[in-house]
Structure 1
Amino acid sequence: MTDDEQPQEAAHTGELTRRKVVAAGGAALAAVTVGGGVAFAGQPGKGGGAGPAREECYRLTAETTEGPYYIDADKIRRNVTEDREGIPLALRVKVIDSDTCRPLKHAAVDIWHCDALGIYSGYEDASQGGPGGPGGPGGEPGGTPTGTPTGIPTDAPTGPPGGGGPGKTDPTDDNRYLRGTWLTDAHGHVDFRTVFPGWYRGRAVHIHTKVHVGGKLTETGYEGGHTCHTGQFFFDEAAVLASAEAEPYSTSTTERTTLTEDTIYDQNGISGGLLRLRYKKDDIARGVVATITVGVDPDETNEGQDWVTGSPSPSAS
């Protein structure tokens, strides 16, 4: 049976919960053409470094905070772009068992992130990068970025690392762009089509992710199982600075935070969530291909919620 013939391809619609997700057919991932002059970033090692990529399958990928803007598996789809403008991003995630090195098939992978101007769907009024939000610019973005990314501003919201506010809150609107969940194939791969994220105060550019295992797809959705990984994917500084030259990123006036100054990224390359990026060096606007291997312990439970309540480490039981 091919990936396109697997039962998760069936189209369904509806409201979803963490342990019961209703399938909605996603468009097949459209590959991003990058052509010659391709730039590579995000190799294993401290802060990325150089050299050939090597999967260190015995290493767990770092657990991080869930953050305040997670919505339980609301959309089962691979193309999460909807109407959002931005640099096309083809994201391929490989999920493996960090103990056996074997791929995890039919694991449910969630991704969610802000748009090019730092706004999260479901939380448009509260998003840090959005107008009027905590840490937002207080108006519609305009002008050009303020140069090289700077450190965490002194007036950035306090609270749990990476949480962006006082903790988990209920959605404030019905939008769900740049959010999606899909099942890994027999090789542990899952592909998403989205846009390159923007930035907001106090955080480097990132994508949130969760991995659920042990459940099954039924006629009404994905049921059962547990969350074995809560993490974030990160983008190297060269790519972020290149994106800032393209619209609509170039219209943002929100301060940026560098990868080395981020409070969540652990500076450990791929094991810390650093993506390997491929794009045309002098024309990133054409699109970016991002890949990463995520090592998880499928027997553990890592919801990422203890970070939000102030615990020094993610939950694990």
Structure 2
Amino acid sequence: MTGNQENQEGQGNQTTQGPKHKRNVTRRKVVMAGGAAVAAVGVGATVAATANAGQTSTTKGKSPTASPTSTSSETCYKLTSETTEGPYYIDADKIRQDITEDREGIPLTLRLKVIDNETCKPIRNAAVDIWHCDALGLYSGYEDSSTGGGGGTPPTGTPTDVPTGTPTGSPPEGGGGGAGHQEPTDDKRYLRGTWRTDKQGFVTFKTVFPGWYRGRCVHIHTKVHVSGTWTDAGYEGGNTCHTGQFFFDEESVLASAEVEPYSTSTTERTTLTEDTIYDQSGTAGGLLKLKYKKNGIAKGVTGTITMGVDPEATHDGTDDAVQPGASASASASASAG
């Protein structure tokens, strides 16, 4: 299985065809095992485009604190918030930077940087996964189970075939509820991809602005894998040091909602402040810095952020833990996607 390959600065001895994504079976079993939300282990992620914003002075073994007198060599980033993996992650998939395929929507360029939060040094050759729903809320691989954003005119009138009796069995997972990984229900893989960071810790993806679905605000999922090996067969071994999500400010989401096909969605939208996964900490919790022309968002958006990670940690995002700021019931109902 191969993906569309693109040149990237600082990729070292990358082959022309590009590696297939392959992970060891032990880690794969852990990822597929399921689970809901994982509590945030710390906050932090600072926008790459504004190097001084959110920087703090760190000392090994001590909590980061602001230090206006620190030199640039002493300033660093806090850990980026960990979140749930959600049920729609597919491991060992597409090695590519352009993940758009045939999906319609506002063009989005996502430029990410991965650094060691303690040393401030960029992490090169890390494998970064991203995946998200399309403009109408559908996830590839799960079109039957993801809620989607609908479209057209909602049905009217009173249903004539009203079910009777008491429901039995467990409710279906997917959409706005359900915890734990689900197996794919179709072979589509749009809006999913993996690429490697360059020598400066940067990785860039081409995609579309995500839509929304029941119970969640607009977001993109991500994982960062380190300490593995890139070979002709793919990325092998290592550990998943970060599982998180990127978020979009309300102004940009409202602007996108005026553009087709987003404007055809009939699904009630969950706002950024209502979301139970986002921890309300701004860029520290994964809020992207977005750049686009005012009144011209349809022409394209650029999103940037720096992820401060602990390369020695393991965060698969599959632990059953309540998200920050959310009750147990609310966290469970919003853990999908």
- Secondary structure, counterpart of 1:265 in structure 2: coil
Query: Which of residues 310, 313, 318 is equivalent to 1:305?
Result: 318
**Residue of structure 1 equivalent to 2:222:** 209
1:88-117 Cα distance to aligned partner (Å, 9 max, x none)? 000000001000111101111000000000
Query: Which of residues 244, 261, 265 is equivalent to 1:252?
Result: 265
- Alignment CA distance shift 1:289-1:9 (3 Å): farther
- Alignment CA distance shift 1:158-1:259 (3 Å): farther
- Alignment CA distance shift 1:240-1:249 (3 Å): same
**Residue of structure 2 equivalent to 1:229:** 242
Q: Is the 8 A contact 1:104 1:184 kept in 2?
A: yes
| One-letter identity of the residue aligned with 2:193 | G
Q: Is the 8 A contact 2:122 2:200 kept in 1?
A: yes
- Secondary structure, counterpart of 1:201 in structure 2: coil
**Residue of structure 2 equivalent to 1:29:** none
1:241-298 Cα distance to aligned partner (Å, 9 max, x none)? 0000001000100110000010011111111000000001111000000000000000
1:112-165 Cα distance to aligned partner (Å, 9 max, x none)? 0000000000000001226xxxxxxxxx51159xxxxxxxxxxxx9999x9742
1:223-250 Cα distance to aligned partner (Å, 9 max, x none)? 1101000000000000000000001000
| One-letter identity of the residue aligned with 1:201 | R
| One-letter identity of the residue aligned with 2:103 | R
- Secondary structure, counterpart of 2:284 in structure 1: helix
**Residue of structure 2 equivalent to 1:153:** none
Query: Which of residues 3, 8, 28 is equivalent to 2:14?
Result: 8
1:163 and 1:141 map into 2 onto residues whose CA distance is: 17
- Secondary structure, counterpart of 2:312 in structure 1: coil
Q: Is the 8 A contact 1:7 1:217 kept in 2?
A: no
| One-letter identity of the residue aligned with 2:322 | P
**Residue of structure 2 equivalent to 1:97:** 116
Matched, 1:200 2:200: no
| One-letter identity of the residue aligned with 2:87 | P
- Alignment CA distance shift 1:76-1:19 (3 Å): farther
- Alignment CA distance shift 1:59-1:174 (3 Å): same
Query: Which of residues 145, 150, 164 is equivalent to 1:126?
Result: 145
- Secondary structure, counterpart of 2:254 in structure 1: helix
Query: Which of residues 55, 62, 71 is equivalent to 2:90?
Result: 71
**Residue of structure 1 equivalent to 2:63:** none
Q: What pairs with 1:153-232 in structure 2 (closer than 5 Å)?
A: 164-232=177-245
| One-letter identity of the residue aligned with 1:10 | T
1:196 and 1:208 map into 2 onto residues whose CA distance is: 13
- Alignment CA distance shift 1:211-1:277 (3 Å): same
| One-letter identity of the residue aligned with 2:275 | D
TM-score (ref. length: structure 2): 0.71
Measured on the aligned residues, the alpha-carbon RMSD in Å equals 3.0
Q: Is the 8 A contact 2:99 2:193 kept in 1?
A: yes
Higher Rg of the two aligned structures: 2
- Count, aligned residues: 262
| One-letter identity of the residue aligned with 2:306 | T
**Residue of structure 2 equivalent to 1:269:** 282
The alpha-carbon deviation at position 55 of structure 1 amounts to 4.8
Q: Is the 8 A contact 1:97 1:298 kept in 2?
A: yes
- Secondary structure, counterpart of 2:292 in structure 1: strand
The alpha-carbon deviation at position 58 of structure 1 amounts to 3.0
**Residue of structure 2 equivalent to 1:241:** 254
Q: Is the 8 A contact 2:211 2:262 kept in 1?
A: yes
Q: Is the 8 A contact 2:176 2:216 kept in 1?
A: no
Structure 1, unaligned stretches of length 5 or more?
21-43, 131-139, 145-156
- Alignment CA distance shift 1:294-1:163 (3 Å): farther
